[in-house]
Chains A and B, each alone.
Chain A
Amino acid sequence: MRRLTEFWRRYRRNVLAVLAFGVLLVVAAMAVFADLLYPQGPWEMVTRPFLWPGDRSQHLLGSDMLGRDVMAGIVHGSRVSLLIGVVATAVAFIIGTLVGATAGYFRGWVDDVLMRFTEIFQTIPPFMFLIVLVAIFKPSVTTITLAIGIVSWPTLARLVRSEFLTLRERDFVQAGFVIGMSNTRIILTQILPNALPPVIVTSSVIVATAIINESALSFLGLGDPNLMSWGTMIGAGRQVLRNAWYLTALPGIAILLTVLALNIAGDGLNDALNPRLKSG
């Protein structure tokens, strides 16, 4: 608890980051309370088609070509975007930390093998790779999430590895050896806590990238057909771009705000987690 308040005290110093955190809270609230706010779901045709935003107060953001409420779509879409963003990042985090920590800690041939393996993934353009993966497996939330996780981990692996390489040489790690700690213990208690801050910051950016990737997939029609996501909405609105541009713009703004908020919050985290900036 003490650490949490201390953390918040430092995070608070960055006003923009607090604002971004607020935006993320709103998005998270939308995701959590989607069923309460729009119990009928995002697919229901509730009004006449092509209702412009502001035309009718009960459908604040208007309706699409089938008369579905855009606001309901954005609220329910936040669920998919956040879920995929967070879970895909968790997948990338687990693989990336395991691979990077092992490579950076043991060095030598272990490092060579793991890093060459990582480079194989890095040489393939991530979005192409993502499309291939989703095309091979049937598009569903699970496969899309895993696929995004699989294309995102190399960045984290390289970051964790470089952190481990430098931290391993530090005196306090040597001190850990001197007092007889095992490799696992040194990795978990000495090195990992020091390596985490930059990894967490990068993870927040990876959440943002994952959301964009998911939207791009849905835009191309490779998303989960049973789920309304922001990308799906943009994809659908594209056909009527000339007379109802708001159908692409509104979910686009939702993506923009969320991704921007994640990036800014990442910067805020960086300041708050950096031990060198910790004041007494």
Chain B
Amino acid sequence: MSGVAPPLLEVRALETRFSTEAGLVHAVDGLSFSVNKGDSLALVGESGCGKSVTALSILRLVPDPPGRVAGGEILFEGYDLLKLSRRDMRRIRGGEMSMIFQDPMTSLNPVLTIGDQISEAIRTHESVSRRSAWRRCVELLELVRIPDPHRRVHDYPHRLSGGMRQRAMIAMAVACAPKLLIADEPTTALDVTIQAQVLGLLDRLKRELGMTVLLITHDLGVVAEWANRVVVMYAGNKVEEGRVDELFAQPLHPYTQGLLGAIPQAGRVHYTNARLHEISGTVPNLIDPPARCRFAERCAKAIDICHREYPAPFRPAAGREVSCFVAERDLA
């Protein structure tokens, strides 16, 4: 942390739980991280580790019931979002922070034209005439590089390709120039070339609109290419954080090491018969998890204390953090 400007978004000890018939699921369990203005932060982890729930918690859109943000603070420009009234929260959503979803096929309303939907987003926050909202739509479609925007505003979503729909979604999300954009696996449903285009688009919008982007993904390739900072999540909590180059060059947590080891690399594995590394075992059950390292059972390096206690975050350098007894011992 620079210590000069306060972070744009700071999540402190966030706990989000879901009550199910089997018991209370601790989907996010004491997660803390912060996003500085201008950051491209990637939140990485495997399915079910609580990435998306974190995003929904930040926007206060966790379905309640069964879910509930049980504790912690979410500071956005110094205000605790968890304490805001519904009305203020509505102003923040879309206006100050926005989100794009994984599947562009289902994220657009099938009975409204692209123009109708985007101008609806504009008119939700600004009292502008239908005409000028419509003009802004065309500009926004131009901004996200949809060809022939004057014609496309009249189209229904089913006429657009997946990549174009995702662009339209992004146009809708940035319609009111939010300060923070949360992108929940925005490229997972797209093929690789379109993926690169969408990531490039996010980068450009970040620069042109001065946005900060929180990218949620499980794709380490996307992280390496796009993010400048990474938070690695495992079973509802942060295991490691750092600048992307540092983290990829020297992963400290055994889980991160395992993740990086599981990526096929050109030249090293492709043309040989070497087996990819894998992390054995499965993600632990998040119903009433015990107070010890969540990764211990799958960890090859686990020592006694890992099975007994929960590792506190250890900061070997500024902006670098790891929660692991082994890493702490090795670095100390």
Contact = CB atoms under 8 A, between A and B. Distances in A.
Interface of A: 108, 170-172, 174-175, 177-182, 185, 189-190, 193-194, 275, 278, 280
B106 A170 contact: yes
26 contacts: A171-B101, A171-B103, A171-B106, A172-B107, A174-B61, A174-B107, A178-B59, A178-B98, A179-B94, A179-B172, A179-B173, A180-B90, A180-B125, A181-B94, A181-B120, A182-B124, A185-B124, A189-B112, A189-B120, A193-B109, A193-B111, A194-B109, A194-B110, A275-B111, A278-B156, A280-B158
Interface string B90-117: 1111110011010100111111100000
B211 interface: no
Contact of A175 (B95, B159, B172): B172
A32 to B, nearest CB: 32
Given A189-B120, A193-B111, A280-B158, A177 B106 contact: no
B93 A178 contact: yes
B158 A179 contact: no
B112 A193 contact: yes
A180 B95 contact: yes
Interface residues of B, number: 32
Interface in B57-116: 59, 61, 65, 90-95, 98-99, 101, 103, 106-112
Given A171-B103, A185-B124, A278-B156, A179 B93 contact: yes
Given A177-B61, A280-B158, A275 B94 contact: no
Nearest to A2: B154
Interface of B: 59, 61, 65, 90-95, 98-99, 101, 103, 106-112, 120-121, 124-125, 156, 158-159, 169, 172-173, 175-176
Nearest to A182: B90
Chain B CB within 10 A, most for which of A170, A181, A185, A280: A181
Nearest to B176: A179
A176 B156 CA distance: 17
Nearest to B109: A172
A83 B120 CA distance: 37
Nearest to B107: A171
Given A174-B61, A174-B101, A280-B159, A180 B93 contact: yes
Nearest to B102: A171
Contact of A275 (B59, B110, B172): B110
Given A174-B61, A178-B93, 12 more contacts: A171-B106, A171-B107, A174-B107, A175-B172, A177-B61, A178-B173, A180-B90, A180-B93, A189-B120, A193-B111, A275-B111, A278-B158
